[in-house]
Structure 1
Amino acid sequence: MITNERIAAYINSLEMEQNDFLRKLEQEALADYVPIIKKPTQSLLRFLIHCHNPERILEVGTAVGFSSILMSQYLKKEAEIITIEKMPERIRRAKENIKLAQKEQVIKVLEGDAAVILQELGEKKEAFDFVFMDAAKGQYLNFLPDILKILKVGGILISDNVLQDGDIVESRYAVTRRNRTIHFRMREYLFELTHSEQFDTVVLPIGDGVTLSTKRM
């Protein structure tokens, strides 16, 4: 937890409850140790979708479909979500959950490696006005050039888990050896976003850390 735990608990107590389907899906995912977005990030996505009214959302990292189903609740009728996942078991569960949520006409799962699919989307000149990044943290920087190609000017990029439970501020030698590469790459990613002429970025210490980046050019 990045913020004071008592404050975070109070803020969470003010949030609206999810519907029964999402609440059950969230509980199942947590029980199975499947990472899903934290409640402050859920609220942030709801707020941003209401503010921006996106027509096309790209999600990088489907997991079991929780966040794409969540976002689909707040979209305009004609809007759509494209979500990318490469792990077969998660793809199976995501498709099953999307069907149970009756969101098959709104959410499309693209199966495969995000690096390949993002490049293909760029080659097809696909365009999105809202991108939610929640995949392998060490790959965020590698994905960024292709995301820049498909994100519309004025579009928004949301990147989750960027502060790594506060570990991002630690020396790389204070981080466990297996996490050092991710720690280094995430620091590179945050520097690139905050110093890029193509993005206007703010880093928010909510959930596990979130960046909001608007494409300027």
Structure 2
Amino acid sequence: MRNEMMYRPIINEDILHYLRTEQKQLTGPLGELEELAHENGVPVIPHETVVFLQFLLKQKRPKNVLEIGTAIGFSASLMAESLDKEAKITTIDRFPVMIEKAKVNFAKLGLEDQVTLLEGDAIDLLSTLDGPYDFIFMDSAKSKYITFLPECLRLLSDDGILMVDDIFQAGTVLQPIDEIPRKNRAIHRKLNEFLEEITKSPELSSSLLPLGDGVALISKNK
């Protein structure tokens, strides 16, 4: 599941190298998992996003977290280890291979009581959840972000934060669609719809950050 966008930086490469190598590194089993993922090209959040997410969670201190897109369980494990033991994380994935790897990693890190893994399509599972969640992290199929957004906002607490990863498609998201390879045009259209909604809706506040392949922070206006 190699993600080509991981290797197409959207900022100066020297700055990117500094962000990934000079900021505090993860240690222990979680650090080993991050290193193994990078060695094997597994699409996990890059280290600059790791550091930002750690900082944000320690300021926000959410008690109820939802993640859409478990993959191998790295980001859910990172969130669990960044929060109090009382914090609960629910994470969703539909790919059997990733689900099995995530289960192994949660067990290895001793997080089975803190992390609940829901298996299936997010579009089906989100409607069954009640929330509210004071932090939601979405890192899944990019073409589905606009589809998942209404349910995420329904589940988000009034003072909660929705963090969405990989929104810039290696900097190509603003290019004319006829310059985009046909295989990526559906993602391109849907990401532009998503960006239009979160930046223009009077009901939302958002901030877009050039971390990794782009991060959006979204909250509901009171």
TM-score (normalised: structure 1): 0.95
3-state SS, counterpart of residue 154 of structure 1: strand
Matched, 1:148 2:156: no
Instruction: Return 5+ residue gaps in structure 1 as ranges.
Output: none
Give the one of 110, 116, 133 matched to 1:102.
Answer: 110
* Matching of residues 26-41 of structure 1 within 5 Å: 26-41=34-49
Counterpart of 1:22 in structure 2 is 30
Q: Unaligned stretches of 5+ in structure 2? A: 1-8
1:159 alignment partner in structure 2:
164
Deviation track 1:34-59 (CA, whole Å, cap 9, x = no partner) reads: 21101111111111101100001100
Does 1:88 find its partner at 2:96?
yes
**Secondary structure of the equivalent of 1:169?**
coil
The amino acid of 1:87's aligned partner reads: F
Q: Match of 1:177? A: 182
Shift of 1:20: 2.9
| RMSD over aligned Cα atoms | 1.2
- One-letter amino acid matched to 2:141: A
Runs in 1 of length 4+ with deviation above 4 angstroms? none
Partner secondary structure for residue 73 of structure 1: helix
Q: Which amino acid aligns with 2:192?
A: R
Deviations 1:6-27 (A, max 9, x none): 1121232321111131232223
Q: CA contact under 8 A between 2:20 and 2:46: conserved in structure 1?
A: no
* 2-structure distance, mates of 1:19, 1:186: 34
Q: Secondary structure at the match of 1:81?
A: strand
TM-score (norm 2): 0.93
What is the total number of aligned residue pairs between the two structures?
A: 214
**Percent identical residues:** 39
SS of 1:110 mapped into structure 2: strand
The Cα shift of 1:31 comes to 4.1
What is the aligned partner in structure 2 of residue 49 from structure 1? 57
Q: Distance in 1 between matches of 2:131 and 2:60?
A: 19
